[in-house]
Amino acid sequence: MPNIEDFAAYLQNERRYSVHTLTAYTNDVAQFFTFTTNQYKTEEPGEVNAPMVKSWIYDCMQHDLNPRSVNRKLSSLNTYYKYLLRTGALDKNPLATISGIKTSKRLYQWVEEKDMNTLLDFTGFPKDFGGRRDKLIIEMLYGTGIRRAELIGLKITDVDLKGKTIKVLGKRNKERIIPIPITLVQSIDEYIQIRRMQGYSHPNLILTDSGEQLYPMFVQRCVKNHISMVSNVSKTSPHVLRHTYATHLLNNGADINAIKELLGHASLAATQVYTHNSIERLKTIYKQSHPKS
């Protein structure tokens, strides 16, 4: 099998994939060739054919992988074979005739506006560094729709309080400018002042109690602890606040193309899922309110 490190370098340097995506793709490819080695006694990409790939799909389903996960693995493998075609290592792609598994349309969860208002306006966050920091995490995710990784990587120099914007480095190193509301401007300003009193000099904006960069589980716990106080949504990950941001914008009349740019989506299709959320909301209102429902 061609050097997997070369494929990883291609994903990182040319496709600009994140470390998380890069790891997932290379693991998927390695798992596929472990399967072909065990089942067909080969790990040579050129010896792989469509029936082998289909048997791998069946094996994944037998191990209770959901269709979305299987499709992700197929995407990884397809990207690998396209890389081999591009470099001239192969002249055919065994996945060319293989389609992904059909999946049901997924409706994302979000927190109701009244619940977000309750959390941010009436929940008593402590006035110390930790309390202001935790509130800022919630406000930043909900007020800008940025991803968890983007929040963690946000630097003080990325914030323009006078211009009421933040600069975000998103997927594939794409920068975007996001406007922030005056309430968030005030929260950032207050947080920076108390952070300065702590004597922290780290370049990143939001820090742990010890003055170090945030890490994913820290943000995860913070969001879960506070969202569960006001909402019954079953998922309380930071991404739920991104969905909440987009859904509330759409429900209040924002143009979907503008939402696409704010979220940093590469295509409109990724943003259109929020229209389904809004349609479901309208159906619920209709059933509750119309006499003929």
Catalytic residues: 147, 171, 239, 242, 265, 274
Q: Which residues does 157 contact at the CB level (< 8 Å), separation at least 6? A: 203
The span from the CA of 125 to the CA of 110, in Å, is 22
Nearest residue to 209 (alpha-carbon basis) of 139, 283, 286, 130: 130
284 backbone dihedrals φ, ψ, rounded to 5° = -65, -45
Task: Let me know: does 278 contact 250? Beta carbons within 8 Å.
Answer: yes
The span from the CA of 87 to the CA of 163, in Å, is 46
